[in-house]
Amino acid sequence: MTDRADGAPHDLSGAKRRIVERLKRADTVTAPELAAEFGLTDTAIRQHLEALEAAQLVQRSTGPHSGRGRPPTHWSLTPAASTLFADRHADLSVELLTSIRTALGDEALDKVVRTRAERQLASYQGVLQGAGSVHEKVQRLATLRSAEGYLAEAIEADDHVELVEHHCPIQNAADHCGGLCSAELDLFQRALGPDVHVAREQHLLDGGQRCAYRITLR
């Protein structure tokens, strides 16, 4: 799915594309309103809406009832439909990092990265507190990282535990700021505690297919 500058949805054809664009501009719309606007029959519009509903892109709700008959059905976009529109979060992150480095220098950028890591550390330590074994700690850490979009898992071996992250949601930013990866390695070490050693064995930015960390007892 390729971003478009006008923010229009992608991979939808004909009337479905027009319906999604129309719903993006309105809180809710009824099928008869769409049919009249697009010059289609109510049946055709409902078929398109039901197909979009099956794809979890639109949802229906019952509008206020004023008069006889059944209350009108109103249609709106679901949160999942936001993926159909251009998203420049990754670009914005890179632009902000570049702007900080240009305006304030590398030292200021390093300070921003460290501040972010300290906030993460406090959150991670709160969740890891009370965990018994190293494996339990790493399992909790993997759950946290998965919630952040890293698709992480903890794999227990004979003499170590491995934290594997199959996806990096901040890879574009990390490409432009190596300090983010360095800070993460230090973050894991501090969060898991001084009784373990954390070593990165695979790294996406070095050509690996994933990021993987070997965690062993000291």
Domain boundary, last residue among 84, 106, 125: 84
pLDDT at 117 over 90: yes
Looking from the CA of 133 toward its CB, the CA atoms found within 13 Å total 8
1 in a domain, yes or no?
no
For residue 96, give its domain range.
89-217
Model confidence at 5, pLDDT cuts 50, 70, 90, reads very low
pLDDT at 145 over 60: yes
47 in a domain, yes or no?
yes
Query: Domain check: are 97 and 200 in the same one?
Result: yes
Cα separation, 178 vs 181, in Å, equals 6
7 in a domain, yes or no?
no
197 in a domain, yes or no?
yes
Total of domains in the chain: 2
Query: Domain check: are 78 and 157 in the same one?
Result: no
Look up the CATH number of the domain holding residue 41. 1.10.10.10
Model confidence at 49, pLDDT cuts 50, 70, 90, reads very high
pTM of the predicted structure, to 2 decimals: 0.66
Which position has the higher pLDDT, 205 or 163?
163
Q: What sign results for the dihedral spanned by CA atoms 101, 166, 188, 207?
A: negative
Q: Determine which of 2-6, 69-73, 91-95, 123-127 has the lowest per-residue pLDDT on average.
A: 2-6
Please return the burial class of 89, using the count of CB atoms within 10 Å of its CB with bins 0-12, 13-18 and 19+: exposed
113 in a domain, yes or no?
yes
pLDDT at 50: 94
165 in a domain, yes or no?
yes
pLDDT at 1 over 50: no
pLDDT at 32 over 50: yes
Query: Domain check: are 56 and 70 in the same one?
Result: yes
pLDDT at 209: 87
Look up the CATH number of the domain holding residue 190. 3.30.1380.20
pLDDT at 7: 44
Query: Domain check: are 152 and 50 in the same one?
Result: no
Domain boundary, last residue among 84, 102, 133: 84
Model confidence at 2, pLDDT cuts 50, 70, 90, reads very low
Domain boundary, last residue among 68, 84, 100: 84
Q: What sign results for the dihedral spanned by CA atoms 192, 194, 195, 201?
A: positive
Query: Domain check: are 143 and 63 in the same one?
Result: no
pLDDT at 28: 86
Query: Domain check: are 146 and 203 in the same one?
Result: yes
Partnered with residue 58 across adjacent β-strands are 77
Query: Domain check: are 150 and 79 in the same one?
Result: no
Segment 77-100, tens digit of pLDDT: 998 888 888 777 788 889 999 999
pLDDT at 3: 39
Query: Domain check: are 95 and 56 in the same one?
Result: no
Residue 30 to residues 4, 18, 84, 176, Cα–Cα distance (Å): 28, 14, 21, 46
Average pLDDT of the chain, as a whole number: 88
C-beta contacts of 56-65 below 8 A and 24+ residues apart: 56/80, 57/20, 57/81, 57/84, 58/19, 58/20, 58/23, 61/28, 63/28, 63/30
Q: Determine which of 67-76, 95-104, 192-201 has the lowest per-residue pLDDT on average.
A: 67-76
Query: Domain check: are 57 and 160 in the same one?
Result: no
